[in-house]
Structure 1
Amino acid sequence: MIHFVVHDEHDSVGVVVVEGVKSGDKLSGWIMDQDKDIELKALSDIPIGHKLAIKSLKSGDTVIKYGVDIGKTIAPIAVGEHTHVQNLRTKRW
């Protein structure tokens, strides 16, 4: 079962595609462009459609989703952690 998808292996985050991801769950992901599988452990509960980090990120790092810069971190984010408004901001403002 695929729990999250990633566009390219250079992305920072993947998108959860199933309901009910809980902290501690072992997750399987699919990196679409390279047709690779990836596995990691969820460090947070993550709703469907939300992002999870697939790389460790420091505060101020750029976050890449689907090959596009979607903002910068405002706090460190560990692999498997929910990546959303609590730790990510747009660079537009």
Structure 2
Amino acid sequence: MAREVHVIDPKDNTGTVISRTMTAGREVEVEAGGEVKMVKVLKDIPYGHKIAVRSIKKGDTIWKYGLSIGTALEDIEVGDHVHIHNIESNRGRGDLFKEKANAGESV
């Protein structure tokens, strides 16, 4: 079976979707932290976006590629889409920068 979720580091609580058909209700095999498990996809997740491979509590650090990339804004279930709607990025958000610049606000 071809890998559909890419997890790099054992401490990662997210994986990157590398399948073009990550639709809600599917079960996908995920190798994370040295174990292989089946994860039920809770929402459609676009290619290149993140999926939770472990339960994440509000305020927890989001880990991807062994790096802290943000903080959970809400509880995130295994199999859920992890993106700007439920994490606060450590790196800032380019979409907000563009919105402010287009509105004439200082950035």
SS of equivalent residue, structure 2 residue 9: coil
More strand by share: 1
Residue aligning to 2:37: 38
Cα distance in structure 2, aligned partners of 1:29 and 1:2: 8
- Segments of 4+ in structure 1 off by > 3 A? none
Q: In terms of Rg, which structure is larger?
A: 2
Cα distance in structure 2, aligned partners of 1:70 and 1:89: 9
Q: CA RMSD in A?
A: 1.7
2:87 matches 1:88? yes
Question: What are the within-5 Å matches in structure 2 for residues 1-93 of structure 1?
Answer: 1-31=2-32, 34=34, 37-91=36-90
Identity of aligned residues (%): 35
Q: Which runs of 5+ in 1 are unaligned?
A: none
Counterpart residue type for residue 13 of structure 1? T
Normalising to structure 2: TM-score of the pair?
Answer: 0.76
Q: Residue deviations 1:46-83, cap 9 Å, x none?
A: 00000000111111110110000000010110000000
Over 3 Å counting, the alpha-carbon distance change for 1:67 and 1:79 in structure 2 is: same
Cα distance in structure 2, aligned partners of 1:91 and 1:48: 22
Cα distance in structure 2, aligned partners of 1:87 and 1:81: 10
Q: Residue deviations 1:21-56, cap 9 Å, x none?
A: 11110112344x85x533211011100000000111
Q: CA deviation at 1:9?
A: 2.1
The answer to which structure, 1 or 2, has the higher relative contact order (CA under 8 A, 6+ apart) is: 1
Q: In the alignment, is the contact (CA less than 8 A) between 1:2 and 1:30 conserved in 2?
A: no
